[in-house]
Amino acid sequence: MRPTIRPSTPATSFSDRGRRTTPTSPWYATGSSAWTPPGESRRNVRDHGVKRSPTSEPLACDQGSAELSRRSVGPPNGRTRVRFANSQVTFPRVVVDRNLENVNWESVFYLNAPIGVIALLVSAAVLPRSRNSTGHHRFDVPGVVLLALGLLCVVFGVVKGETWGWVSAGTVGAVSAGVFILVGFGWYENRIAHPLLPMRLFRNRALTVGTIITALNFFVMLGVIFFVMLYLQNVRGFSPVEAGVRTLPLSLASLVASPLGAALTGRFGPRLSMPLGMLLQAAATFGLLSWDTGSSYATMWPPFIALGLGVGMVLSASSDAIVGQVPVKDGGVAGGLQGTALQIGGALGTSVLVSLISSRVDSTLVDELTGAGVPASVAGGLEQAGDAVAMGVAPVSGNMTEQLRAAVVEGSGQAFMNGVHTAVTVTGVLCLLGAALAAAGLRGTSPAAAQH
């Protein structure tokens, strides 16, 4: 008979010595309070990267057969989530990671405020004021509303797809509504004198292809970094600083790729640098297939370098592929289109790839647990912990025997890696398709294409 489950926010603890460990107290709490790291008060739990809801209730369980509420395990903890946002900045990323070991995760957002103020002041001082040579234009407010609503519905539907189910009424309805609104946006833009986004721009094949590849570039980058950090911190047990240091080759490679990609684009146009960048990303993602729960660093840094080089090359070529393919008067619109493509690609990348990991974990978790030596009855009870395992967290409790805990850690880690391998396979195929599309769609373009 399975225990009664009430929602809770689980907490886990991992060592900072590069290996995965398990809590010394029950993860599935029994009694009147949830698990707290030894020697600490509940108010300090958030300093370990776990933000506890004041309304959280404990889980009731018996030895080795506890079930998690299917949706009780949320996104990764704060220190992991913030780490992704700083993945392409070498110095700030380590500063942020070190900061998060001493204060709560929300503090990272305070770093953006002074940077934004400085950027605003410098821009106001050095950037010349632009003027529209064609006269006064009325701002397209309806276009802004339609575009924002359409993108919101599509992204929201994709983000919620894993939670609600991809064929659920909510997911299908949100995505369908978004597509319908975006079609209406295109229809409206073609019928006004001064549209927010002139549809005629998409008649340029190079611009259309460049926009797609730019979105795919951030789809790959943010999606891959997301589960790489789950792997490093939750599966391997590295601290945020240790994980950040180990991914420095990715950041350094992207810094090298930016001027290299700019030089190649300046000489040959995006028709070379974009396909090359996508091929490097494909090599990086397929390289992640060699990872397992105990991979050495020698198998980690080559994919990091390839991914950084690929992302940097595509990013440096995207301006020429999009902004460089339109008349000067439409440069601002093309720049906005480029930025929108980056944001949409990143949002979809994390949502889609995590959904793939979660789906694969759900289908293999019980088999991996039993294969690792977990009794079938216990493995069946832990099946509901799929969301935790999809985040790289082993569903262990302190009242399990050492042997059982070790088996659960091994089986859940392997199930997580099954999900990662599925995600990187799909990502690699998308990169190859993107390389082929870029090679065909950008054929004939040159750096001077926009000089008209």
Count up the domains in the chain and report the number.
Answer: 2
Supply the CATH number for residue 364's domain: 1.20.1250.20
- DSSP line for 382-434: GGGGHHHHHTT-----TTS-HHHHHHHHHHHHHHHHHHHHHHHHHHHHHHHHH
pLDDT at position 135, please? 61
Please check whether residue 45 lies inside any domain of the structure: no
Tens digits of residue pLDDT in 225-243: 999 999 999 999 999 889 9
Structural domain harbouring 181: 141-195
Q: Are residues 320 and 339 both part of a single domain?
A: yes
pLDDT at position 385, please? 92
Greatest mean pLDDT among 39-48, 299-308, 346-355: 299-308
Query: Between these two residues, 350 and 105, which has the higher pLDDT value?
Result: 350
d(CA 206, CA 337): 14
Q: Are residues 175 and 259 both part of a single domain?
A: no
At 172, the pLDDT band (50, 70, 90 cuts) reads: very high
Residue 149 CB contacts under 8 Å (≥ 6 apart), including other chains: 178, 181
- How much of the chain, in percent, has pLDDT values that exceed 70? 73
pLDDT at position 292, please? 94
Q: Are residues 162 and 253 both part of a single domain?
A: no
Asked if residue 252 has pLDDT above 80, the reply is yes
Q: Are residues 309 and 373 both part of a single domain?
A: yes
Q: Are residues 191 and 304 both part of a single domain?
A: no
**What's the average model confidence in pLDDT over 183-202?**
92
pLDDT at position 101, please? 58
Q: Are residues 405 and 320 both part of a single domain?
A: yes
Among the residue ranges 26-30, 173-177, 201-205, the one predicted with the least confidence is 26-30
pLDDT at position 97, please? 52
Q: Are residues 317 and 173 both part of a single domain?
A: no
Among the residue ranges 49-63, 241-255, 356-370, the one predicted with the least confidence is 49-63
Q: Are residues 331 and 425 both part of a single domain?
A: yes
Q: Are residues 344 and 228 both part of a single domain?
A: yes
Please check whether residue 99 lies inside any domain of the structure: no
Q: Are residues 294 and 373 both part of a single domain?
A: yes
At 222, the pLDDT band (50, 70, 90 cuts) reads: very high
The dihedrals phi and psi of 144, each to the nearest 5 degrees, come to -60, -45
Q: Are residues 237 and 358 both part of a single domain?
A: yes
Domain edge (last residue) among 160, 180, 195: 195
At 134, the pLDDT band (50, 70, 90 cuts) reads: low
Domain edge (last residue) among 195, 210, 225: 195
Query: Between these two residues, 50 and 169, which has the higher pLDDT value?
Result: 169
- How much of the chain, in percent, has pLDDT values that exceed 90? 53
Query: Between these two residues, 33 and 373, which has the higher pLDDT value?
Result: 373
Please check whether residue 19 lies inside any domain of the structure: no
Please check whether residue 329 lies inside any domain of the structure: yes
Residue 81 CB contacts under 8 Å (≥ 6 apart), including other chains: 75, 105
d(CA 140, CA 137): 9
The token pair at 293 is 């729960």
pLDDT at position 132, please? 62
Asked if residue 36 has pLDDT above 80, the reply is no
Please check whether residue 15 lies inside any domain of the structure: no
Query: Between these two residues, 164 and 409, which has the higher pLDDT value?
Result: 409
Asked if residue 293 has pLDDT above 90, the reply is yes
Domain edge (last residue) among 151, 170, 195: 195
Please check whether residue 87 lies inside any domain of the structure: yes
Please check whether residue 18 lies inside any domain of the structure: no
Asked if residue 82 has pLDDT above 90, the reply is no
Q: Are residues 276 and 164 both part of a single domain?
A: no
Please check whether residue 222 lies inside any domain of the structure: yes
**Per-chain mean pLDDT for the chain:** 78
**What's the average model confidence in pLDDT over 373-385?**
92
Distance between start and end Cα atoms, the chain: 75
Q: Which residue has the tokens 């859940």?
A: 412
